[in-house]
Structure 1
Amino acid sequence: MKYFAYGSNLNQKYMQWRCKDALSLGTHTLQGYQLVFRFYADIIPSQDNAVKGGLWEISENDEIALDRYEGYPDLYDKYYEDDIMFYRMCDENRNYGLPSNGYLEDFLAGMEDFGLDPLVDLNANLGNSPSQATHSKGDNVAYAMQIIADALGIEL
C-alpha cells in the first residue's frame, strides 16, 4: 500500500524504526490540502493549496504500526486518494498551535530526508492557512519560519 507522509513520518530514521518494511518512493504532492499545526501536523481540505510530502510503500504490518503511532481511530482517521492512504486529525475543531521543538526537529529532518526545502516547501504547505495560534496567519507563519531557521542554524 502507498502511504503519504507530511509530518513526523517523513523522518526516514524513525519510519524505519516504526515500520520495518517501509520503502521510500520519493516525494508526492497532495492537491487540495494545506498543512496546519495542531501541536502535531495535520492537513485540512483547501481547494487552492497543495501539500508536498513523502510517499512510502508499506506492508500490512507497517500499517498496523502506523495506526498505533498515529492514534487511529481516536486522534487521526484514514483517508484514501488515488490509492494513497494518509491520516488526518479526527477533531477538526482541535486548537491550532505550533509543535514542540523536538517534534519540529524530527519533522524538518524528514523534509530533508525527502529532499524538500524546509523554508520553501513548508511555507508553501502552510498555504493560506487559518490562524494557527492567537496570532494572525502572517505572524504565525513568520514565527514558524523563524523557529525553522533557528533549528537549521540559518538566518532569515
Structure 2
Amino acid sequence: MNKYYIAYGSNMNLEHMSHRCQTAKVKGVGSILGWKLVFRKDDDEAFATIEPFENGRVPVVIWDIKPSDEEALDVYEEYPLLYRKEVIKAVLKGEELEAMVYIMNGDRALGKPSQRYYETIRQGYIDNGIDVKILDDFLFV
C-alpha cells in the first residue's frame, strides 16, 4: 500500500531520491503550515529538521512512496534513533492531506549544515521550482 511522505530537506533532491527510493513518485510541491526548518547537530554535522512555529511555513515535496521506499528512508534517516516518524498535515494545491514525515529526536544544538549537505537541499529546491531564498532565510536567521 502506498502512502504519502513529506520531504523538507535532502530528500527534495530528485536525483538523490531516484537512487534511494526507486519507486517513489513526486505527487507535488506543497507546504506545511505552523512549522519552521532548522538545522540541528548530530555529532559534528547539522541536519535538517522541522519544529512547530506559529505562523511558520516550510516548502515541501510530497512523495507517493511504497513500503520498499519507506524502508530505504528509514535507513537513510537513521530511524528510530536519529529521526522519528509522525503524520502531519500538508497543503498541496489548496487541499490538505496527511503524510508521514521524519522529525529529529531530542533537544540538539542548532548548527550549520556542511556545504555539501546544503547544496543537496538547494538542488532539491531548484529541482522543484522553489525559490532558494526561502532556504537561505531559514539558514541565516
Where does structure 1 differ by over 4 angstroms across 4 or more consecutive aligned residues?
Answer: none
Q: Which residue of 1 aligns with 2:24?
A: 22
How far did residue 83 of structure 1 move? 2.4
Deviations 1:20-79 (A, max 9, x none): 100012211111100001111110011221111111100000000000100000000001
Q: Which runs of 5+ in 2 are unaligned?
A: 41-45, 89-96
Name the count of aligned residue pairs: 126
Structure number with higher helix proportion: 1
Q: Which residue of 1 aligns with 2:102?
A: 87
Distance in 2 between residues matched to 1:100 and 1:114, nearest whole Å: 22
Root-mean-square deviation (CA), in Å? 1.4
Normalised by the size of structure 2, how large is the TM-score? 0.85
Which structure would you say has the larger Rg?
1
Structure number with higher strand proportion: 2
Higher relative contact order (CA 8 A, sep 6+): 2
Q: Which runs of 5+ in 1 are unaligned?
A: 127-139, 143-156
Normalised by the size of structure 1, how large is the TM-score? 0.77
Deviations 1:93-119 (A, max 9, x none): 111101001101111001111110101
Q: Which residue of 1 aligns with 2:33?
A: 31
Alignment of 1:130-145 (within 5 A): 141=140
Q: Which residue of 2 aligns with 1:66?
A: 73
Is the 8 Å Cα contact of residues 122 and 135 (structure 2) preserved in structure 1? no
Structure 1 vs Structure 2: percent identity of aligned residues?
39
